[in-house]
Amino acid sequence: MAARTLAALTAAALAVALSAFAAPSASAAPECSDIEVIFARGTDEAPGIGKVGKAFVDTLKPMVKGKSVSTYAVKYPATWDFMKAAIGANDMSKRVQTIAAQCPKTKIVLGGYSQGAAVVDVVATAPIAGLGYTAPLPAALAPRITSIVVFGNPSARIGNPLTRMSMVYGARTADLCAPADPVCSLGRDWDSHVRYQESGLVKLGAEWAAKLIKAADQKPAAPKSDAAQGTSATSTR
């Protein structure tokens, strides 16, 4: 009798332990907000959306009053090993795919700062896998991304801002570079790279995102490129 009782208790304990590793239930699905900002932080910032990402979201919210805004912090090392940016690109792409599948009405805004901007570059310009990027964004999901806003984008330094690199998303992108920021321009003012929250460019980026969100509310199709390009070009003001 004691042996049977011990066996039953052991089985119950094992079942409880295994339940911790069970597949997530339906309740684990993301809550669907009106807008989700998927943001990749900069090099050496603590996990999360980073200071620039927080400033961007905090500035955007009052501009889209009446709409719920959620955030997703892209998961990647953000270390000085820049090749690992592909990890972030995979995570960002997978998050877009998850939201697109589970939240059909949610408008998606992609954002990134510094190395995080490079993460966005990969997602927006690489239609096939390569160099550690294993989860390309399906072309069919492009309309779900309402806008892209990046700050201090390294590719802009060599004359390839995302507005130019991406034929699909360029017209929906604000690629913003602070004056003399050596990461995204030929300038030499390193302080400008860490002062985006104070530069006025965060507000400009939020205004850009809010404008395209409102346009998407009024018209399902993406805004015309000729109207968008004037604002989305790399800013140096």
Catalytic machinery residues: 114, 181, 193
Tokens of 76: 């990647």
Residue 187's SS3 state is coil
Which residue type sits at 222?
A
Beta strands in the chain (DSSP E): 35-40, 69-73, 107-113, 145-151, 173-176
Contact 181, 164 (CB under 8 A): no
Of 30, 32, 33, 40, give the one whose Cα is nearest residue 149. 40
Closest CA to 88 of 48, 113, 116: 116
Task: Supply the DSSP symbol for 130.
Answer: B
DSSP 142: G
By three-state DSSP, how is residue 186 classified? coil
Q: Which residues pair with 38 in a beta bridge?
A: 72, 110
User: Which tokens in the block code for residue 54?
Assistant: 């927080």
Residue with tokens 């011990």: 6
Residue pair 173/148 in contact (Cβ under 8 Å)? The answer is: yes
Please give the Cα distance from 116 to 175 (Å, whole number). Answer: 12
